[in-house]
Amino acid sequence: MERTGMTLAEKLLAAKLGRPVAAGELVEVPVDLVMGNDITAPVAIRAFEAAGATRVFDPDRVALVASHFVPARDVSSANQTSTMRRFALAHHIRHYYPEGSGGIEHTLLPERGIVVSGDIVVGADSHTCTYGALGAFATGVGSTDLAYAMATGRTWFKVPETTSFVYHGQRQPWVTGKDLILHTIHLIGDDGALYQSMEFSGHAIGELSMEDRLTMANMAIEAGGKVGLVTPDAVTEAYERGRALRPPRFLAPDPNARYLAAIDVDVSRLEPQVAFPWLPSKTRPLSEVGDVPLDQVFIGSCTNGRLTDLRIAARLLQGRRVAPNLRLVVIPATQDVYLKAVQEGLVEVFVQAGAMVSAATCGPCLGGHTGVLGAGERCLSTSNRNYVGRMGDPTAEVYLASPAVAAASAVTGRITHPAAILGEEVA
């Protein structure tokens, strides 16, 4: 009898171990990169030092990125970043990015080629799964697990089961990767892929840009996923060419791989999506949203703060003004994105429209700063989570959508289809 093949998640772990693996097996694997940020790294550093560790396993394979509470919002956050700075300098960490030099880690690491296809990556942040868009096994861990990985260069996993998501059909105008993943989370629920690999494939995925794929992998955790993976293809190769710091390894699932389930999604039937408070799964098609006035729009985060996202937003805001009594906050995800947005004139468009533009930081996404919500306020955000109290006061409401919907809504002051702003027919 023919041996069952391996899924992409299994192939990635097997390649690192040099032997086949199967779902449910416990494995200890070497890692290619470990990552911490200004919230999680200080906890890992204390655990690292308490364990008696004196050196990291490889200073070239550790990334420390100041992203969440930077520039420091208070004394506590300043102490967090100084702890990380001390450790990074003492251990000669190559990929140390303080404020002003990096940005949000989940955009920065693929952008700089620090993560490449075929990698095994752990990060003390749940959205580490973003890098699965490159075909890397990347997932979030706790700070104590990060400390162990920093010291030993190894970590352990239970090999996850895999659900296959096959997207077919032709996308309608204004439907993006953000809409595909919001719809998917709505289909299966917030824990519908609990500790699973979500393997995204199909004609519609092949036509997505790398930026849209990164958005989809970023939100795999919002369905409980351990990893969100896309098999590398020509789009992946083009993205990594000239930026990958190490040779990528392009792996693919076996044709006879065993999947826990297979879900088909016809994207030709989809329209832009909006997630209602207070879960990403509470998603509705834009045509069913109704009249929802807003107090704030936030365009940014590791989900949708890339240059392509800002270009889409600027196209809709060009020559227009933000609605009265509405705040628009635009935050490029990295310093590189910020610089290019300045060079392309996008920042000028945002400022002339009445937006506040910040340097690269997570900002209000996690209720950090630069746009925290007050009692009863409503915000449409391009970020990944809209839990109770996520962006500020627990009575505030957060809606999730794509940058196109966000920009259009900033102009009208209520959740709006981008086609309506441009005078196009709404499909």
**Mean pLDDT of successive 10-residue stretches along the chain, which has 427 residues:** 82 96 96 95 94 95 93 88 94 94 94 97 95 98 94 96 97 96 97 96 96 97 97 97 95 96 95 96 96 97 96 97 96 96 97 95 86 95 91 94 98 96 77
399 plus 292 within the same structural domain: yes
pLDDT value of position 73 = 86
pLDDT value of position 3 = 65
Packed helices 335-343 and 346-353: angle between N→C axes, nearest 10 degrees: 80
Half-sphere exposure of 302 (CA within 13 A, CB side): 29
**Domain containing 220: what range?**
160-247+254-270
- C-alpha closest to that of 21 among 8, 6, 1, 31: 6
Q: Please report whether residue 346 resides in a domain.
A: yes
Q: What is the pTM of this model?
A: 0.94
Beta bridge partners of 356: 329
Q: Please report whether residue 151 resides in a domain.
A: yes
Question: What is the helix (H) or strand (E) element at residue 418, kind and residue range?
Answer: helix 418-422
Contact 281, 182 (CB under 8 A): no
CA distance linking residue 135 with residue 197, whole number of Å: 12
Alpha-carbon distances, residue 140 vs 36, 157, 379, 410 (angstroms): 10, 11, 27, 33
Q: Work out the burial of residue 254: count CB atoms within 10 Å of its CB; fewer than 13 is exposed, 13-18 middle, 19 or more buried.
A: middle
CA distance linking residue 313 with residue 197, whole number of Å: 32
pLDDT value of position 139 = 97
Q: Please report whether residue 110 resides in a domain.
A: yes
Residue-by-residue DSSP string for 130-150: GGGGGT-EEEE--HHHHHHHH
114 plus 167 within the same structural domain: no
Q: Please report whether residue 4 resides in a domain.
A: no
Q: How many domains does the chain have?
A: 3
Tell the residue number behind the tokens 């006879």, with chain if given: 256
pLDDT value of position 367 = 82
262 plus 291 within the same structural domain: no
276 plus 418 within the same structural domain: yes
CA distance linking residue 260 with residue 4, whole number of Å: 13
Contact 42, 69 (CB under 8 A): no
Question: What is the helix (H) or strand (E) element at residue 87, kind and residue range?
Answer: helix 75-90
Of the three residues 211, 237, 270, the one that is the final residue of a domain is 270
pLDDT value of position 1 = 38
Of the three residues 140, 159, 178, the one that is the final residue of a domain is 159
